[in-house]
Amino acid sequence: MAYIISDECLSCGACEGECPVGAISEGDGKYVIDADACVECGACAGVCPVGAPSAE
């Protein structure tokens, strides 16, 4: 299941640069993950300072 980013997101952008497939982009007030592109690697979760990304 694809990762999602919760409302805890600080919009710092740390996760975007870590995504190996470019599935993360800046959304309206927080970053978002394209579920169709996500390969469920967890790299985003590993760098998030607040733990916003998680598996659905």
Domain ranges across the chain: 3-55
Residue 45, H or E segment: helix 43-47
Closest-CA residue to 11 (of 23, 26, 1, 22):
26
Quote the pLDDT of residue 43. 98
CB 54 within 8 A of CB 3: yes
Maximal CA-CA distance, the chain: 25
Fold of 3-55: Alpha-Beta Plaits (3.30.70)
- The yes-or-no verdict on residue 15 having pLDDT over 90 is yes
| Single pTM value for the model | 0.92
Average pLDDT score over the chain: 97
**How confident is the model over 29-44, as pLDDT tens digits?**
999 999 999 999 999 9
Q: How far apart are the first and last CA of the chain?
A: 6
Quote the pLDDT of residue 56. 78
